[in-house]
C-alpha cells in the first residue's frame, strides 16, 4: 500500500503535488498549485513536499498582501504572484519571468508529445524568438515586438538553418547571413514558425505566467503555395537501383515496393514481421521505441513484396532490421546518391519513392480507398467518411497482397 503524503499522490510511479488555493485568491492564482515531485521514492517525495509547501505559503502571502492593498479595486493580473514554474523555483511575480526562462521550461514539456522532427522544428522556432526577445519579461511583449519579429523571419533564407556558420547565431545575425542569397523562406514556413511561437505564448498564459498576449492577433501576410515532392519516373528508379548503393538500396527497394515512409521503414523490428496464412509475410507498422507514427491511420499491416524477400534474408533476425539507419541518414544519403547520379530534378527526395508506389497503384486500377488503407492515409472511402471510415474493418489480407503483387519494378531493373 503506497505511503500517505499530505497534498501528494502517486501516479504511474511518480509523486505529484496538488494543493488548492484559497477560494478568494483563485481568480488570480488559479484553482490549485500542481507540480510533479519527479520521484517515485516516498521518502524523497515527503522531503520535497515540505519545500513546495513553503513556496505555496509564500505565494498565498504575497497574493493576500496585494489583494488587501487594492482595497476592493480591480487588480492588474500582471502583478499577481504565481507558483514556481520548475522544481523548487522561488515564487515570482506574474509576468516577470523572462521569455528565455519560460522557453527552457516549455521545451521539455513538448519533447515527449512530438516526434523528433516536429520537436526540432519547435526548438528552432523558439530559438529564433529567444535570440531576439529572450531577455524581455513575458508581460512586456507588445504588438510591435510581434510585428518586428514577423518582419525578421520573413527575411530568412531557407538554407540558413542548414549552414554550419549559422549554428547558434541570433535571429538578427541569421537575417544578415541571409542577405545576398536571393531566397527567403516560404509563407508556409513563416506561418509554421509563427504558429509555434503563439502556441508557446498560449501555454505561458494557460500556466498562469501572464494574463494574455497580443501576438495571436497578428498574421503572416502572403498566400501559401505548397510545393509538392516530385514522383520518381521509371528511368530514375532504374538508375537509383542499378547504382546498388550498399547502405541505401535495401531500404530504397522496400519503400518503392510497399509505400512505407522513411521513418516507418527505419523503425521496423524483426518481431514486426508476421506470416499471414497463404498471403506471405506482412510487416506491422506500429509505434515502438525507435519511432512514433505520423497519425493513427499510419498504424497498419503491409505485405512484403516477393522481390524484396531475398534482401530480408541478409538482415538481422532480431531487433531493428536497419540498425545503422535513421531518417536523417537515409535522406542525406539519398541526396548524395542523387547528386552523384546527376538526378537533379526539383522536388526529387526520398519521399518520392512513396509517390512512385502510389502512382503504380493508381495505374493498375486500385481504388483510392484501398491504396489509402495500404499506405496509411486517412481513408477517402466515402464522402462523409462515415460508412467505411467508421464501420468497416478495412480491406482483407488477400486484397492487400493482390495490390502489392501488381506493383512491378521497371523492366530494366529486372534484366
Cβ-Cβ contacts under 8 Å for 302 (sequence gap 6 or more):
258, 259, 260, 282, 283, 285, 374, 400, 404
Entry pTM = 0.60
pLDDT tens digit sequence for 274-287: 998 788 999 998 88
Full set of structural domains in the chain with CATH: 8-92 (no CATH), 99-217 (no CATH), 234-414 (1.10.443.10)
**The pLDDT of residue 391:** 60
Count the alpha carbons within 13 Å of 378 in the hemisphere toward its beta carbon: 6
Taking residue 347's Cβ as centre, other Cβ atoms within 10 Å add up to 12
Confidence of residue 256 (pLDDT cuts 50, 70, 90): very high
Residue 161 region by backbone torsions, left for phi larger than 0, else alpha for psi between -120 and 50, else beta: alpha
User: Is the pLDDT reported for residue 132 higher than 70?
Assistant: yes
Q: ∠45-51-56 over CA atoms, to 5°?
A: 115
Compute CA distances 121 → 160, 192, 193, 216, 322, whole Å.
14, 9, 8, 19, 25
At 348, list the grid cell.
Answer: 526529387
Per-residue pLDDT averaged across 33-44, rounded? 83
pLDDT tens digit sequence for 304-333: 999 999 999 899 888 999 999 998 899 999
> What is the distance between the alpha carbons of residues 318 and 404, in angstroms, rounded to a whole number?
25
Share of the chain above pLDDT 90, in %: 28
pLDDT tens digit sequence for 63-105: 888 777 766 555 544 444 444 444 434 444 555 788 998 999 8
Determine how β-strand 92-93 pairs with β-strand 300-303: unpaired
**The pLDDT of residue 50:** 87
Report which of residues 114 and 134 the model is more confident about: 134
Amino acid at each position: 500500500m503506497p505511503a500517505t503524503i499530505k497534498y501528494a499522490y502517486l501516479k504511474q510511479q511518480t509523486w505529484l503535488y496538488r494543493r488548492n488555493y484559497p477560494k478568494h485568491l483563485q481568480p488570480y492564482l488559479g484553482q490549485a498549485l500542481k507540480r510533479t515531485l519527479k520521484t517515485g521514492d516516498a521518502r524523497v517525495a515527503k522531503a520535497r513536499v515540505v519545500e513546495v509547501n513553503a513556496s505555496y505559503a509564500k505565494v498565498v502571502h504575497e497574493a493576500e498582501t496585494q489583494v488587501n492593498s487594492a482595497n476592493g479595486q480591480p487588480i492588474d493580473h500582471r502583478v499577481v504572484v504565481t507558483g514556481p514554474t520548475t522544481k523548487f523555483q522561488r515564487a515570482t511575480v506574474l509576468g516577470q519571468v523572462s521569455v528565455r526562462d519560460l522557453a527552457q521550461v516549455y521545451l521539455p514539456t513538448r519533447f515527449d508529445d512530438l516526434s523528433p522532427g516536429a520537436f526540432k522544428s519547435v526548438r528552432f522556432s523558439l530559438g529564433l524568438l529567444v535570440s531576439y526577445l529572450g531577455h524581455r519579461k513575458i508581460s512586456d511583449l507588445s504588438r510591435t515586438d510581434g510585428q518586428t519579429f514577423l518582419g525578421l523571419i520573413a527575411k530568412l533564407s531557407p538554407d540558413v538553418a542548414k549552414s554550419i556558420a549559422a549554428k547558434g547565431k541570433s535571429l538578427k545575425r541569421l537575417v544578415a547571413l541571409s542577405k545576398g542569397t536571393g531566397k527567403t523562406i516560404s509563407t508556409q514556413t513563416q506561418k509554421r514558425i509563427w504558429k509555434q511561437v503563439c502556441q508557446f505564448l498560449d501555454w505561458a498564459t494557460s500556466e498562469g505566467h501572464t494574463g494574455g498576449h497580443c501576438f495571436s492577433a497578428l498574421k503572416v501576410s502572403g498566400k501559401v503555395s505548397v510545393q509538392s515532392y516530385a514522383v520518381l519516373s521509371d528511368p530514375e528508379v532504374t538508375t537509383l537501383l542499378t547504382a546498388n548503393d550498399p547502405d541505401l538500396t535495401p531500404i530504397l527497394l522496400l519503400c518503392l515496393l510497399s509505400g512505407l515512409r522513411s521513418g516507418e521503414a527505419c523503425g521496423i523490428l524483426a518481431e514486426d514481421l508476421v506470416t499471414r496464412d497463404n498471403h506471405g509475410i506482412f510487416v506491422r507498422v506500429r509505434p515502438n521505441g525507435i519511432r512514433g507514427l505520423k497519425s493513427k491511420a499510419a498504424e497498419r499491416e503491409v505485405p512484403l513484396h516477393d522481390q524484396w524477400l531475398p534482401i530480408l534474408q541478409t538482415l538481422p533476425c532480431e531487433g531493428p532490421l536497419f540498425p545503422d539507419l535513421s531518417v536523417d541518414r537515409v535522406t542525406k544519403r539519398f541526396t548524395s546518391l542523387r547528386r552523384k547520379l546527376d538526378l537533379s530534378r526539383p522536388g526529387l527526395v526520398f519521399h518520392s519513392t512513396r509517390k512512385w508506389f502510389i502512382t503504380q497503384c493508381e495505374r493498375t486500377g486500385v481504388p483510392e480507398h484501398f491504396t489509402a488503407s495500404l499506405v496509411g492515409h486517412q481513408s477517402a472511402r466515402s464522402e462523409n467518411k462515415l460508412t467505411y471510415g467508421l464501420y468497416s474493418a478495412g480491406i482483407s489480407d488477400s486484397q492487400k497482397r493482390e495490390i502489392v503483387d501488381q506493383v512491378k519494378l521497371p523492366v530494366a531493373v529486372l534484366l
